[in-house]
Amino acid sequence: MEKKLIDNKVPGWLAYIASLVHYRSLMVTLVRRDLKVRYSQTVLGMAWSLFQPLMALLVFTAFFQGIIQLDTQAISYPVYAFSGMILWYLFTGIVGQAGNALIQSEDLIKKIYFPRLLLLFSKTVVACVDFVIAFFFFLIICFVFGEIPKSTILLFPFIVFILIFIALTVAVWVSALSVRRRDLLHAIPTLLNFAIWAT
């Protein structure tokens, strides 16, 4: 068996990026594991990724359109609301899952060496899979309500990229701090659920 000497010095950015590339096959394995654990032995499978935003959409539609009658400037409210929800749930999915990644994988971390960011990246990929499913459903909603996306939708990939970067940055801090202060793991979901109503 090949032995590898582990240097406890903090590597530079280039060295760390090189190690991420070197262990890319491990990240693929982690993503497959996370998807399998999440959706195995379920009847609906990946369709469950739509359940939370759809339930929230029904509540928001009943409250903001039915009671408050929010002005959405001639845009159908389900389209208006769901366009923001899929982005918000992408953010919360990354922060919620990746922020808990180090604690969930404590046993694996103790057994073998690998860049710890791979754990956060794998959770991010899983959240992105949920987002892609929700986005295609958003296009269906647009078609049902006769809403044609404007040319500004071309900026959407850039917005998503920036959102993923911000969410992953927050997740890195949450995962690092939660190792010492596990109260964060209980506080973060509550804060995220409150924030969607506050915004």
User: What pLDDT digit, counting tens, does each position of 7-60 carry?
Assistant: 555 566 677 678 777 778 888 888 888 888 777 766 666 677 777 778 878 887
Contacts of 34 (CB under 8 A, 6+ apart): 122, 123, 126
Per-residue pLDDT at 163 = 95
Contacts of 90 (CB under 8 A, 6+ apart): 127, 128, 130, 131, 160, 163, 164, 167
Do 185 and 103 touch, CB atoms closer than 8 A? yes
Contacts of 68 (CB under 8 A, 6+ apart): none
Residues in the chain, pLDDT under 50: 1-2, 5
Collapsed DSSP state (helix, strand, coil) of residue 159: helix
